[in-house]
Chains A and B, each alone.
Chain A
Amino acid sequence: EVQLVQSGAEVKKPGESLKISCKGSGYSFTSYWIGWVRQMPGKGLEWMGIIYPGDSDTRYSPSFQGQVTISADKSISTAYLQWSSLKASDTAMYYCARRTDGGATRYWGQGTLVTVSS
């Protein structure tokens, strides 16, 4: 069974750094793209970027380029999303999501709530 298990909720102050994780299991972690999706409170889904753990090829949505860093450690089947300096506007639920060979987001993580407040 394919599973994506994300790290727990975080409460941070503006300017702090953060790295959240997404551990894949039940499939070959290096063979499928994993993306990150933001959902701000009461809003829709926004595609942030994606990584291919096999070779760490990473692409970003123009809206998120330079704002976050996506990485992966294939030795522990885990993808990451990180910020170097959080803003209040980064407060949102973040989902990791695995794609299929032919496209489409097929599997979702349970979400990580990030709250940034002074």
Chain B
Amino acid sequence: QPVLTQSSSASASLGSSVKLTCTLSSGHSSYIIAWHQQQPGKAPRYLMKLEGSGSYNKGSGVPDRFSGSSSGADRYLTISNLQSEDEADYYCETWDSNTRVVFGGGTKLTVL
């Protein structure tokens, strides 16, 4: 079963850009992942599905400021022109079938 590794925290200034990383475990570098955002006190929200090729498919209503990319076993979420409402926890998710799912530990993003 794949394992996803995320940094526990990140910070960036208002209006700047930040790139969050989710790393797939050895032997699982081709896996597709999804990114989710969880604002304080709210349910998670689907942001996008991201393939190993770097191709991504965003959910409806997700701002253009959010984009995805990939390199080897790393999957990235880039947020441009950071806004205060982007301060949240970000989780990556992958799956071994529709029935075996794993989440990364989450990255807490602070907007300075």
Contact = CB atoms under 8 A, between A and B. Distances in A.
Given A47-B101, A50-B99, A59-B100, A107 B106 contact: no
A46 interface: yes
Interface string B82-94: 0000000101010
Contacts of B38: 45
A104 B34 contact: yes
A111 interface: yes
Interface of A: 33, 35, 37, 44-47, 50, 59, 61, 95, 97, 99-100, 102-111
B77 to A, nearest CB: 14
Nearest to B101: A47
B103 A47 contact: yes
B99 A33 contact: yes
Interface residues of B, number: 23
Interface stretch (B13-21, B44-52, B62-70): B44-52
Contacts of B98: 33, 50, 99, 103
A53 to B, nearest CB: 13
A109 B43 contact: yes
B54 interface: no
B72 interface: no
Interface secondary structure of A, over-half rule: strand
Contacts, number: 62
Given A44-B91, A45-B91, A104-B32, A59 B99 contact: yes
A45 B106 contact: yes
Interface secondary structure of B, over-half rule: strand
A61 to B, nearest CB: 8
A102 to B, nearest CB: 8
3 A-B pairs closest in CB distance:
A59-B99, A104-B34, A47-B101
B99 A95 contact: no
A26 to B, nearest CB: 13
Given A47-B102, A99-B98, A108 B45 contact: yes
Contacts of B100: 59, 61
Q: Which of A37, A44, A99, A107 has the most CB of B within 10 A?
A: A44
